Chains A and B, each alone.
Chain A
Amino acid sequence: MVSSTLEIKDLHVDIEGEKILKGVNLTVKGGEFHAVMGPNGTGKSTLASAIMGHPKYEVTQGEVLLDGENVLEMEIDERAKAGLFLAMQYPSEVSGVTTSDFLRSSINAHREEGDEISLMKFIKEMDDAMDYLEMDKNMSQRYLNEGFSGGEKKRNEILQLMMLKPQIAILDEIDSGLDIDALKIVSKGINKLRNDSFGCLIITHYQRLLDYITPDKVHVMMQGRIVKTGGPELAKRLEAEGYDWVKEELGIEDEIAEQKA
């Protein structure tokens, strides 16, 4: 399979008039796993949401290219069809729409009209993925995310990831609110996708996720920019020593991104 490249160039993003991202540069190639770490409020989730096209985020400068195509000019569904996926921190609840119907619509959206996935094949793929993630099969007949526990929502995001098989996935704090067993299962699902063409951008502020999913590169985000990049050892050091040494090294006093525009 041909692998894709996601290039984020000088990305500036505002939310409700506040400047959050102030020039993010990052490239994720197929086959690579990147982790973006940083304290709360430094702009990590904003990066994820802005790339996918969340209606509240306004890109004021810069570009995001997927294989040279400007993602920011695409509708949200076109971004997904181009090969992007975002596992969300707070997935929406949709009443009256079963998880299974939603998944099937999603898969068919990626296929040509007249080439929809057969019901049998769909059920088999869904059952296999649910088994792999140790999910309760009844969940597929429940309304999308409605009444799901935090852990169930995260697994449901990974279920979608496994079934949609995107070129590039962004995982926004997929580890938050998970106990250690659930974390291992979710990591297992993500690692299953690892191959030469699949690229992944993992956003987290805990190093513990990276014990299970080894990143190729680790980036530290502060004040709405990537301020430091290293290998997996950087994550270990952050876990052991916190972020203060990074701030000291770079002369940063307040790492928070938000600033009046």
Chain B
Amino acid sequence: MENHNENLLIQRNQSVAFQSLAANLKDKGVIFADIQTALKEHSDLVQRYYMKDAVQIDEHKLTALHTALMNGGVFVYVPKNVQIEEPLQAIFWQEDPETATFNHVIVVAEANSSLTYVENYISNNKSEHAVANIVTEVIAHDNATINFGCVDNFAAGTTVYVNRRGVAYRDARIEWNLGQMNDGNTVSENITHLIGDNSSSYAKTVSVGRGNQSQNYTAKIVHFGKQSEGFILQHGVMRESATTIFNGIGKIEQGATKSNAEQESRVLMLSKDARGDANPILLIDEDDVVAGHAASVGRVDPIQLYYLMSRGISQKEAERLIIHGFLAPVVREIPIKAVRDQLSEVIEGKVY
């Protein structure tokens, strides 16, 4: 993988294989460390955020199991008023299928700060069975902006539970750019709590399912603050015998006046055995709000295929064009170039 990023951490199985952070960021007090080191060197901060504001230990069995067996991850901390332009990137490589990945990631942006964080999960175990249980807590304090990107690329053998939770305080913004490209069975929750007034979140997901995998994605934004804005956008392509359920949930709590909850989910199925469901859900406990949803599930239009093929394009290539075209509206919306490029590459690999 070509990488000129100075702010990079590579974790192989449970150990850190490479780590670097630009000197000017260190000077400003930015922390970008593996979770074990952070626990030793910044124990106050880790304790302040670990399973506190975002995810609770006793939420359910998987979060409890996670807490008991946590064995890796990173801690990212950006002090007040520090703006970081260059992305911080973490690569988690599950090389040994015997090991389980119980990663915990914490990203904290203090008031008026901003950062872009990108993570990649990779494994190669097509047949050997492995598990991953990942909890990620993303905290944006007043007026902070967090741009979160990921490309998950676990192989077919890994069964994944991934929980990415955001908390946004006053005027804060969390933007999610999730490339959910695992080949194995996956349960993914991406929930954002808009606590502060005028906070916002834009949660984007693209996914390509193939083989026999079954997946369940929940994207949820909960509005507590007044004038909070939440937008969920998910596009998924299902090939072969893949099955995926996309839940989109916009929840507006009482008192979150003038809030706006929007969502759009689109699923394209490429074979008769593929299945996709989109469940748009709006739960509104306040009167003075705006909310909307759009959802569609459909198969490839045979007339569209005919048109493309009538120019000499093979069926495979025509499907490739249609898939890229279908995911383009989300991929194009991703502001982090590295994630866009990686995603296009992974999509390409999954289409052929």
Contacts and interface: CB of A to CB of B under 8 A. Distances in A.
A77 B309 contact: yes
A97 B307 contact: no
Interface stretch (A47-55, A217-225, A247-255): A47-55
Contact residues of B: prevailing secondary structure: helix
Nearest to B301: A92
A160 B329 CA distance: 25
Contacts of B328: 95-96
A94 interface: yes
B313 A105 contact: yes
A133 interface: no
Given A55-B302, A105-B317, A94 B325 contact: yes
Interface residues of A, number: 29
A97 B322 contact: yes
Contact of A101 (B309, B321, B329): B321
A55 B324 contact: no
Interface string B83-115: 000000000000000000000000000000000
B271 interface: no
B20 interface: no
Contact of A96 (B303, B308, B326): B326
Nearest to B304: A92
B329 to A, nearest CB: 7
A160 B311 CA distance: 8
Contacts of B304: 92-94
A196 to B, nearest CB: 23
B325 A143 contact: yes
Contacts of A143: 325
A80 B313 CA distance: 8
Contact of B327 (A75, A93, A96): A96
B307 A77 contact: no
B313 A94 contact: no
Nearest to A77: B309
Nearest to B322: A94
A92 B306 CA distance: 9
A106 B326 contact: no
A86 B326 CA distance: 25
B95 to A, nearest CB: 34
Contacts of B309: 53, 75-77, 80
Contacts of B312: 77, 80-81, 106, 109-110, 164
A102 interface: yes
Interface in A3-22: none
B311 A94 contact: no
B314 A109 contact: yes
B315 interface: yes
Interface in B165-210: none
Contacts of B313: 77, 80, 105-106, 109
Interface string B308-352: 111111110110011011111100000000000000000000000
A242 interface: no
B315 A77 contact: yes
A74 to B, nearest CB: 11
Contacts of B321: 94, 97, 101-102, 105
Contacts of B306: 52-55, 76, 92
B306 to A, nearest CB: 6
A96 B329 CA distance: 7
Contacts of A79: 310
A95 B326 contact: yes
A108 to B, nearest CB: 9
A157 B318 CA distance: 17
A91 interface: yes
Contacts of A234: none
Interface of A: 52-55, 75-77, 79-81, 85-86, 88, 91-97, 101-102, 105-106, 109-110, 143, 160, 164
25 contacts: A52-B306, A52-B310, A53-B306, A54-B306, A76-B310, A77-B309, A77-B314, A80-B309, A80-B313, A91-B307, A92-B301, A92-B308, A93-B304, A94-B304, A94-B307, A94-B308, A94-B322, A95-B325, A95-B326, A96-B325, A96-B328, A106-B312, A109-B313, A109-B314, A109-B317
Given A76-B310, A109-B311, A109-B314, 19 more contacts: A53-B309, A75-B315, A76-B306, A77-B313, A77-B315, A80-B309, A86-B310, A88-B310, A92-B306, A94-B321, A94-B322, A94-B325, A96-B322, A96-B324, A96-B325, A105-B313, A106-B312, A106-B313, A164-B311
